[in-house]
Structure 1
């Protein structure tokens, strides 16, 4: 099996051979093509897509498999399902459905390296809490983490008290990555959380108060500490262009990555919808998901391919840099995926794109070297 496309870094056409599900030789060719070639996208934060929701009360293995299939078709070949704040039995039911789907299909297991639990150990204050259900927020509990099982390898947590900072230290020793998010923690608590082992910041710049002290505040501390890698929602709605550009410059491209934070309404037609959490929402043609009659966001509704194209426009990035934010950089936290190198997994995409486009127009997807239809 071979696949060809233009190198986003050089513009030259590359031909990639695939051997036993891995990238073999990579050679340059004179064959003309308008399509670009890249590793499949890596999304560390996905709640749902195209009507499939890992947080639904009736989630089952078919839902998980359908979610993976739908995301592959838009270029995301590595998916980290993200379970949000809920009663423990609901979290464990979702984990069970994901585990069954992985066990039933090797390609689903390949796509899902682990699960990210966003909550329930978050701030209960309005603003930082976001839309997480306040009834089910609770203090950090390492025993609950143990009960979730080994499939959970990332947890978003607010380090606003001693229990949370102790949780971060103990979870890190267990090999679970901790990400700071949905927090009202002080700058000192942020630093202590990083000292304890926190590695990431969840959708930095969102899930906080609408008004913050000019300085100090927890955003500056997260931006300033080079030990912390930051995720950003690059959909053009969660962060204004100037804010995203400044945060990316402060954090540095090498310590940044994009996430979709997509909900089940991502990939759905524009219109009004009724959701289990939040009630009536409206999805606009440009992908803004808001509560009906208000300017408030009701979640994210664009794919990571959309996010790459939008981030390029917002921050004036090259195509190669935009792709890095959605491949190699998040791939560090997914077993080294997202690299176009011999011996790496042959999860590859070709796509059409030109400056100003609102998405990467994915044309071909290979998973383990096999075409995805």
Structure 2
């Protein structure tokens, strides 16, 4: 069993903030946080102004580096997992698209296979699956394929849940569609997080969904009924219900900086989760790509369908953090909640991820004094190191 020590710098411990402690790791886990210096062959010595944070968790991502979850290959999931460590992401939920039944099932089976046999420690870990659609509204389709939208189907979902190895953690759905309320109750009873999204629901319908067990909003502001002074809509539902978390794409394109600030001012650090919603063009250049069977055009950092509809992003989590601090008064402490603590709790893995504590997985990132990423450690193994 490999042993590592990280000495120097400051460590964000638990939910309390920074302390000057050394981290000791055996195998995959943190075994001690102490003032003791234990020098060994694998000691990582930090500069005094370096900081150590828990690894970031991306709960909504479709692809990166030329790969897409819907490719339904081990190579694709592995390629995404390899790319994410370069932006400080140590865990993620591969996210499916609204597509034909066979295509979704192939993706679910592949992710299940990857989790069982290929989830190695030098890449970001797959901790579950985010099923985005097909139970969504035709009125707020976004970049999903309207051809494959379905009404809630208990039997079909149970089949998909079994294929996934019981690893579907999140389902994005529109609460106004027929049968949604009973479906939400069924999902939450089975421990699945229901996220309201791609929805034209009224505020009353949002409230009913939350009462039935929904606890999240998918990419706040995007593909949802906006706030109106006579109808709060889905956005109003997210703002007025503090117990429900909201995903946020902070790339300066999906929502204006002022709206990011508004969301942070209302929801606070404990009410938001930063996501990338990235597609396969992330890490690549301008060009024409594919997302959910639709052509996507990437030009100067913006991914759109032919009609101009935003089609995911090419955002990195590192840039999302930079933008969040620039657009709001959020500090690095706040980002730990939005990047790590909140998603770990939401997806049921806080017992082993999301914070730096004894007994938890050694998923860590090291930033320099300018908050630039220096190193990513996944379950005790160095997965990325910035070269000078």
* Alignment match, 1:357: none
* Alignment match, 1:27: 34
How big is each residue's C-alpha offset from its partner over 1:123-149, in whole Å with a ceiling of 9 and x where there is no partner?
Answer: 001xx2101101000111111110102
How big is each residue's C-alpha offset from its partner over 1:250-294, in whole Å with a ceiling of 9 and x where there is no partner?
Answer: 12321211111111111213x22243544251231xx332456x7
* Alignment match, 2:344: 331
How big is each residue's C-alpha offset from its partner over 1:180-213, in whole Å with a ceiling of 9 and x where there is no partner?
Answer: 001001111100100000011111111135x764
Asked if 1:6 corresponds to 2:21, the answer is no
- Give TM-score, length-normalised by structure 1: 0.89
**Residues 110-259 of structure 1 aligned to structure 2 (within 5 Å):** 111-125=125-139, 128-148=140-160, 149=162, 150-208=166-224, 213-216=228-231, 217-259=233-275
Cα distance 1:147–1:353, how it changes in 2: closer, same or farther (>3 A)?
farther
User: In structure 2, how many angstroms separate the alpha carbons of the residues matched to 1:308 and 1:215?
Assistant: 34
Contact residue 151 and residue 178 of structure 2 kept, 8 A: no
User: In structure 2, how many angstroms separate the alpha carbons of the residues matched to 1:162 and 1:16?
Assistant: 52
Given candidates 365, 368, 373, the residue that maps to 1:349 is 365
**Residues 98-109 of structure 1 aligned to structure 2 (within 5 Å):** 98-107=111-120
User: In structure 1, how many angstroms separate the alpha carbons of the residues matched to 2:321 and 2:327?
Assistant: 10
How big is each residue's C-alpha offset from its partner over 1:314-344, in whole Å with a ceiling of 9 and x where there is no partner?
Answer: 1121111123210111111231021011111
Contact residue 194 and residue 227 of structure 1 kept, 8 A: no
* Alignment match, 1:309: 322
Query: SS of the counterpart of 2:147?
Result: helix
- Give TM-score, length-normalised by structure 2: 0.86
Given candidates 86, 90, 96, the residue that maps to 2:109 is 96
User: In structure 2, how many angstroms separate the alpha carbons of the residues matched to 1:31 and 1:101?
Assistant: 34
Given candidates 375, 378, 386, the residue that maps to 1:364 is 375
User: In structure 1, how many angstroms separate the alpha carbons of the residues matched to 2:218 and 2:369?
Assistant: 28
Contact residue 142 and residue 310 of structure 2 kept, 8 A: no
* Alignment match, 1:47: 62
* Alignment match, 1:279: 295
Shift of 1:61: 1.2
